[in-house]
Homo-oligomer: A and B are copies of this chain.
Amino acid sequence: MVHVTKAGHVSKWDIYEIVLEGGPSKGNPFCDIKLEALFSLGKRSSCVSGFYDGNGVYRIRFMPDAEGEWSFKTASPEASLDGIEGVFQCQGARGGNHGPVRVRNTFHFAYEDGTPYIPVGTTCYAWSHQGEEMERQTLETLKTAPFNKLRMCVFPKSYLYNVNEPPFYPFEGTVADGWDYSRFNPAFFGHLEKRIAELGEMGIEVDLILFHPYDRWGFAHMKPEYDDLYLRYIVARLSPYRHIWWSLANEYDFMRNKTPEDWERYGGIVTEYDPYRHLISNHNGLAFYDFDKPWVTHCSIQRVDVYKTSENTDEWRKKWNKPVVIDECAYEGNAEYGWGNITGEEMVRRFWEGFVRGGYVGHGETYMHPEDKIWWAKGGLLYGTSPERIAFLRRVVEEGPAGGLDPLPSDWDLPCAGVEDFYYLFYFGFNQPKSREFRMKPGIRYQVELLDMWNMKVEKLPGSYEGAFRIELPSRMYMAVRMTAMPE
């Protein structure tokens, strides 16, 4: 006899979970038992997959996106799991829950409730595989960090500076004896989703990397049928988390054993089984994924060059007509290779070069540590000089136009973003002019501010400016000029 646990209510965009205990546990329930539920509210309905969580426990999770009385009914070839019904109330969203992030205005993002979302991301690929102490430290660090998006891997990581075994493995089996890819490890997934939930409570979107090539266990080389089983399982478990983004892979093109057809199949499975249409993309090593594919919601980009990447943002916007998110523009640190040894100054410059061209740039940190506790992979502590300046950037962008920063026509040497005749943000990058003449349309009066993007200072110039005028600058790098149209 199956014991059913279900709540009577849930808040909008939270997770409503039905727990079925005492279900079939013989054979391989991960593969053999099909379980779905149809959730309905008036004329709306959504069919979601349940999943097996070990020990005869089955779970069905659902994220309602509308208030009111929802009903559900399970369906399964297994009689004990079939036909279970119920109703629950969906109440208004809890404070701070604005729903999943969606693309808005072609190149930007907003939460489903319309609140603008400006992704300011960081990367901690394997932070959830480091054990309780360090994982708590990471969460602690994130509390005061400026980041509202985090790229992280499902699978543990084996790479330069990343040699430790994880506390949990995703499949049944052992390192010595190998894995049964048809049987998931509930403890692994329970831990993963706990960490994901904690990030969500902090307002941090999770850009979840489903596959990656830095592997010594075999997770990068499963048979296609197991890849597909894994994807259906993780989507059933995690898609109800409002703050999930799907990243099919990190450096998909470095997974030489996978074909273009594999990636399209993966994209198809995730989008078919995710009823919430979470953001989804595929992050390159060298060659960009084809962001034109209809299921790809945004460009997820790694640095294309040692010297110049985020300066291409406006071109990429034109090419793909989707939001441009440069997840990896190189990392602040002193790692051995060029992907991980830029200064804080260069990191912040790359951020601004991307934002001022209507895109979004992500952070990572790779300062060498005697025990290889490096933020970019393991989390822990931040040592760099860029996060504080990225917090300043976030404030400046949040104070900007609600529709997002779009590139505006500008001089060859001075990129500019904003909204024509209303808001302009000119960024000088590493150039250090003593002054600059601006020629704005006559008849509009602007408040002009000097922004020092490194020293995090805003200086409001007295009076107002109109038409053609000259602004004195401090002959320093990393300055910006902000102009805001004044009311008549």
Contacts and interface: CB of A to CB of B under 8 A. Distances in A.
Interface size on A, as a range, is: 20 to 34
A334 interface: yes
B431 A342 contact: yes
A435 B336 contact: yes
Contacts of A411: 337
Contacts of A414: 338
B306 A429 contact: yes
Instruction: Give the secondary structure class of A's interface.
Output: loop
Given A306-B413, A413-B306, A434 B338 contact: no
Number of copies: 2
Interface of A: 305-308, 311, 334-339, 341-343, 346, 368, 411-414, 429-437, 475, 477
Contacts of A475: 334
A384 to B, nearest CB: 12
A307 B308 contact: yes
A433 B341 contact: yes
A231 to B, nearest CB: 32
Q: Which 4 A-B pairs have the closest CB atoms?
A: A338-B413, A334-B475, A334-B434, A341-B431
Contacts of A337: 411, 413, 433
A312 B94 CA distance: 54
A438 to B, nearest CB: 11
A430 B305 CA distance: 13
A302 to B, nearest CB: 13
B343 A477 contact: yes
22 contacts: A306-B311, A306-B413, A306-B431, A307-B307, A307-B308, A307-B311, A334-B432, A334-B434, A336-B433, A336-B435, A337-B411, A337-B413, A337-B433, A338-B412, A338-B414, A338-B431, A339-B413, A341-B431, A341-B432, A342-B431, A343-B430, A343-B477
